[in-house]
Structure 1
């Protein structure tokens, strides 16, 4: 783990209390007693024979800031003997398996005991005599939100034994059992057996950042400010803050690959992110090398991580049709079994929107969900994600988007300012209703020649290409698409050739270009009259390298109008009418 601008406080009592974020004075809302008891919380625990097991656990459990900090010297026994205010819900001997927690301390599992047991029974402030309704939502030291029911006299549905014991620094409630601990999604990864690979992966890029502006400065010693209340935030270069995974107010879903599935996932994802050390790009009609020392390994590592992380946690609150008020383990399971896709952060989808049942449920097939404090999760042994429905998705490039025009690849085409072609937007006033089909964005572009005798060549950059297979289409529109009353019979068609530039020859400095071949073996394609025509140019075309992340280097798709003879000129128009280009992603058989 990396540490940035981090000043560690020594583990004295004062420094530790400051790290927890305690204030010097308590909230009057929780301290409404007319008399002040003389014994501290710790003294009361020691004096009560029914709390002997708890005493042993508290004496041996030491305070830690987080999973990165070393175990300190301050015990929770000392913390409860301090002047700071707490409420303790104390399980009585014989009502829980205390030996389990003591054994974990023997094994050096201080953090697990601290977070799952000790902090799950201690809250800041005094919750004796509180007002505010039948149930109080109490935030514990482990950030869990537990219900304190005043009418039923229960804490997290565990009965409270007898009256409240007032203390000089808070109040003590004795429980007839242990308050159950539920991991949130973030904690479940840490504490669930078999998820070591995922946990290590998530944390290998962690950075602990000292938040100077949010911290409280104290005295200056040897020229350095000593902070009495230091605030830190854990961040990660790849996934940003992990905090929302821990948000107890959220309703989330996790799909966790086990160690077995993790190995499978890396192999499945990594083959789509093969990079090379040199990538070409065109400038001033010449091909140049942009990256002489492109860090292929680092780029692949980042891209693979992004894909795998995007498939781990999803918000259930953003899912159309998911009723959070009815949320339960059975309700959640039924929802997943009948959902075809999930909305991810923003407007993107966990899976391609064109997927159909039962793909999503197949990802978790054979596994049962388990409940966490902020949602539900699956631990999957098989990485059932299909690449074409998750990360290796279909790419659409609109012909009217000038950004993707490869200016250097155009030839004999009419220029319109700095770019080529003319955009046409379809409305009820100009669309020819006799032509059926879908025009994406209700717009297309046409590219006439620079003269009446010219046969234009157009060239487009294709973004986000991965090292995988695609079926490549040019979606062509009829030349009367925007001529509302022009018939099919009086409308010419397009006739063209196509090629793709997908690599660079280091030895001779030339682009590596492959011509498209039609089904009849010819190198020319023609559009059908009266229809929006998706012309298949390449089937199962496999890119040897990925281009995503290597921008401004792109593979380029070229179309060249072919209207040479007098006979061709009678039925074909040299101007190319293009809606878009589709790169339809294909899966290897081994991926399904």
Structure 2
């Protein structure tokens, strides 16, 4: 009889051994029979030691073990909780830059970036597991063979309170994008502006969000207007791509946009010009250089053209990547966005309770496309008005279009659009609009957009701009009907 063991069977035994101990550490997360009875029968000497003891005693990881003791993490890794440690070899530890261990705080952060709560075995059904480290950074454990840019050279070394993997490179914690921006604030104008948004509210709502922030420095705090309105670049849980303009490019882009950002003061004009320059430069995913497309679309719908040749520097960070751009020009034709106002989303009506005459409709156009609109009919009030608000208008001329459906009357009615002004507290009527577009016919069964006029905005105030839809100066049914699917305000390039 041939007594030589089949090598494939031996590999199977090793795999099952690892799975068995992973079951023990996950405390019943997987189905394993009599785990503690079988645990007691194993001869693995490491199971007599906790993680702290095992890492310090190992000839491969003793230097990392010394740092555990120095930072007090030897006590944490001796507790009854279950941990996973990715421990660098002594050779890898010797290659760590001095700056990563320059202070007690730096040493603790370094250690924390190698430790995770709960067990992460190299045997997993997932190709990539995102692991939250004690440092609050997130690292990717891929195929059980690599973590971040380090290779696992010995995996699944179990102890009494967890397991450790030996890696060939230390996991020195990287800065996140916001930490990098803060570091550049003294030498980069765009970075300095972004830091200044800690104190500036772009919108009224920003102050409310900031008031809800927790004290201190937290990855999920909203202490900056860029975090509130664009993306929280201090958040370690998500990945971002961020384009940081060098000073020359930043000045060029802001000067091109400045004529469209006139505010009541020079300072506020500068603040809003800079904001609308930088708000389209962050994207909610990390994109490697080789996968950068020729155009990205920002959160706000702006198309941002990219030219790899203008990338001055690429910096890989803990929550994404920063590309420092020597040049990045966004054409005004794509930068200045059309504002669309949905008819079924008013915030107020003029005098009188006309809810019984107001219809929020779901309709289907001749092409079978479903849309929503508003219709107010037979209200018997002359110049009855529906009010809307629009944000982010530019100081330029606008062409105004509407789609207004007249599908339940055979006669034509007229309505008009007004821009700006204020609402009377006495009777809800419109006062002092700066632009009154002409009354325009709403003909039966027209589903195309209709041009209704132009206006020019020379100075933009704070908050929203009032936009109103006004009925005919008549009390007659069928004559003073209002209808609106949407309004489009299309900016004109100067």
Please, what TM-score do these two structures have when normalized by structure 1? 0.50
SS state of the match for residue 457, structure 2?
A: strand
Matching residue of 2:16:
none
Equivalent runs, 1:501-512 vs 2, <5 Å = 501-502=420-421, 511-512=431-432
Distance 1:113 1:384, change over 3 A: farther
Deviations 1:404-462 (A, max 9, x none): 4333xxxxxxx8x636967596978xx8x7xxx999936564767959xxxx4343323
Query: 2:89 touches 2:166 (CA, 8 Å); kept in 1?
Result: yes
Distance 1:403 1:170, change over 3 A: closer
Identify if the C-alpha distance between structure 1 residues 475 and 83 changes in structure 2 by more than 3 Å, giving closer, same or farther: closer
- SS of structure 1 residue aligned to 2:169: coil
Instruction: Name the structure 1 match of 2:169.
Output: 178
Which residue is equivalent to 1:105?
101
In structure 1, distance between residues paired with 2:123 and 2:362: 64
Query: Match for residue 236 of structure 1?
Result: 222
- 3-state secondary structure, aligned to 1:189: helix
Equivalent residues of 2:50, 2:78 under 8 A apart = yes
Aligned to 2:4: none
Aligned in 2, Cα 1:44/1:557: closer, same or farther, shift over 3 Å?
Answer: closer
Deviation track 1:238-278 (CA, whole Å, cap 9, x = no partner) reads 6579699433xx6x4433545858889999699859589xx
Could you say which residue in structure 2 is the equivalent of 1:460? 386
Q: Does 1:537 align with 2:445?
A: no
Name the CA shift for 1:482/1:55 in 2 (closer, same or farther; >3 Å).
Answer: same
Q: Tell me the secondary structure at the aligned position of residue 457 of structure 1.
A: coil
1:162-311 matches, within 5 Å, as 164=157, 173-175=165-167, 177-180=168-171, 187-191=176-180, 194=184, 197=192, 200=195, 205=210, 207-208=213-214, 235-236=221-222, 245-247=235-237, 252-257=239-244, 260=247
* Structure 1 residue 547 corresponds to structure 2 residue 489: no
Does 1:147 pair with 2:141? Answer: yes
3-state SS of the aligned residue for 1:178? coil
2:149 touches 2:169 (CA, 8 Å); kept in 1? no
Alpha carbons of structure 1 residues 459 and 332: separation in structure 2 relative to 1, 3 Å: same
Instruction: Output the CA distance in 1 between the equivalents of 2:241 and 2:232.
Output: 13
Would the alpha carbon gap of residues 499 and 363 (structure 1) be closer, same or farther in structure 2, given more than 3 Å must change? farther
Deviation at 1:545, TM superposition (A): 1.3
State the shift of 1:540 in Å: 2.9
TM-score, structure 2 as length reference: 0.57
Q: Report if aligned partners of 2:404, 2:486 keep a CA contact under 8 Å in 1.
A: no
**How far does residue 158 in structure 1 lie from its aligned partner after superposition?**
1.8
Partner of 1:337: 294
Question: CA RMSD for the aligned pairs?
Answer: 6.1
Matched residue count: 421
Structure 1 stretches lacking a partner, 5+ long: 1-24, 63-74, 211-231, 277-296, 317-327, 343-349, 408-414, 518-522, 563-572
Residue 351, structure 1, aligned to residue 300, structure 2: yes
User: How far, CA to CA, are the matches of 2:259 and 2:391 in structure 1?
Assistant: 14
- CA contact under 8 A between 1:497 and 1:524: conserved in structure 2? yes
Instruction: Map Cα deviations across residues 310-336 of structure 1 (whole Å, 9 max, x no partner).
Output: 9645268xxxxxxxxxxx836742xx4
Instruction: Measure how far apart 1:463 and its partner are.
Output: 0.7
Partner of 1:287: none
Distance 1:587 1:76, change over 3 A: farther
Cα offset for 1:178? 0.6
Contact 1:161 1:174 in 2 (8 A): yes
- Aligned in 2, Cα 1:533/1:77: closer, same or farther, shift over 3 Å? closer
**Aligned 8 A contact 1:351 1:390 in 2:** no
Q: 1:266 to 1:126 in 2, by over 3 A?
A: same
